[in-house]
Chain A
């Protein structure tokens, strides 16, 4: 048994490990971020754990033992901050919603969204789905109730992750999807079409976990993400400054 435990435990090996819990849509940007951070801090190994923001919040509530939390919306990180599990959250980046279609098909106008063959959106349980609902609510004011009903009738799936939404269109199973601009950019074969801006764009927040075993390293990570270099990496992946 002890030998088996050892088998699982070995393989790490770096002197200091920084565990970063990040929202799924930050995956690509944070992989680059981790590499740059490791270069700037020799001997530090950044471990990225990506999932939906609420799943990450749940893991924090159950004492997952991590150092930093980056959430795709404010509500989830405020909730764990109110429980004293993370320090005061700070904004790190913004995103935008876009309409994504396959780049080998005809572009679609957002105003004609009720005429696409099939539409995939995020489930309202996840941030991208809530931003989508907000966008459609606002658009209904301009295009009318019939347009909204038409759009809802085109929805063939409400996916629990923004990457799954994008994948369904990239694989050609659905005609259009509402995703973050960053995902439309990261997933090959997709074309992004602008949609009307909403009052509150998708905004990302991060904070240090209060039970972090490397608090000074966690703070260094937060500062690095907010620094000019961190923001440059985020911009490369299509994020806007907060």
Chain B
């Protein structure tokens, strides 16, 4: 075995350790009693409900609008400008994204009067939470799903068409199954990012328990009050995310 062959895996595992250590520190520092206490508190449950409700709506929007875009992008050499535009929200600091959302969709934003004209006021509503989550989650979904769709073979699609399948049937039976594991992990990534969204939500949707206060906002609030509770809610958030991400991996692995 060459030196490089020995060093490379060690370097890789070093990163895994670095990524996992803070999570271990978080879980190890939380007494079971604290966790039960946090889980039983009505404010935590309200935040969990807001988080689950909004992220599922956000994920549905991301998949419904993101899948056609990812498919289109995968079928052609994507113009670098288009790709960069899709990626852009990922590099924007979330709090700045929140300000940008306010300046666009806020009451005093440039689309505010238009929205007010049709009776829509977004800031401080659950819809604002969803919008912030879509903006941070969608780029991850589109970019990952595009890569996954590239695996779908045009020739195979053509064969399915010549065998009499409609375009949509050919897509559902040939293209989608081939890309399914990648698309699933794209959805998982987007969902996880949406679940953890904090800065843009705080700026654009505010912080009202039961309405716009998601788990990350509840954690931030608890940090100012009781660190043990903040830690316990974080463990809950890690648990929820871990369960969903694992489920997606297992599901994707089976199909792949």
Please give the residue numbers on chain A whose beta carbons come within 8 Å of chain B beta carbons, in ascending order.
52-55, 58, 61, 118, 120, 123, 125-126, 155-160, 164, 168, 171-174
Contacts and interface: CB of A to CB of B under 8 A. Distances in A.
B224 A125 contact: yes
Interface string B198-233: 000011001111001000010011111101000000
A61 to B, nearest CB: 8
A172 B108 contact: yes
A172 B108 CA distance: 6
Contacts of B227: 58, 61
B50 to A, nearest CB: 13
A61 B230 CA distance: 15
A-B CB proximity, top 6 nearest: A157-B206, A172-B108, A125-B224, A156-B124, A125-B225, A54-B224
Contacts of B220: 160
A118 B227 CA distance: 31
Interface residues of B, number: 23
A160 B207 contact: yes
A123 B221 contact: yes
Given A120-B206, A173-B102, A160 B108 contact: no
Nearest to B212: A157
Contacts of B209: 158
Chain A binding surface, main DSSP class: mixed
B136 to A, nearest CB: 19
Given A160-B202, A164-B202, A173 B124 contact: yes
Nearest to A55: B223
B123 interface: yes
A156 B107 CA distance: 13
Contacts of B99: 171
B208 A156 contact: yes
B106 interface: yes
A118 B108 CA distance: 14
A171 B202 contact: no
Given A172-B106, A173-B107, A160 B208 contact: no
Contacts of A53: 224
Interface in B75-105: 99, 102-103
A173 B221 contact: no
B27 to A, nearest CB: 17
Interface string B103-127: 1001110000000000000011000
B66 to A, nearest CB: 28
A164 B227 CA distance: 21
Contacts of A158: 206-209
Given A53-B224, A160-B217, 19 more contacts: A54-B225, A125-B222, A125-B224, A125-B225, A156-B123, A156-B206, A157-B124, A157-B206, A158-B206, A158-B209, A159-B202, A160-B221, A160-B224, A164-B203, A168-B206, A171-B102, A171-B108, A173-B107, A173-B124
Contacts of B212: 157
B224 to A, nearest CB: 4
A174 B123 CA distance: 9
19 contacts: A52-B223, A53-B224, A54-B224, A55-B223, A118-B124, A123-B221, A125-B222, A156-B206, A157-B124, A158-B207, A159-B202, A160-B220, A160-B224, A171-B103, A171-B108, A172-B106, A172-B107, A173-B107, A173-B108
Nearest to B206: A157
Contact of A58 (B107, B123, B221, B223): B223
Nearest to B112: A172
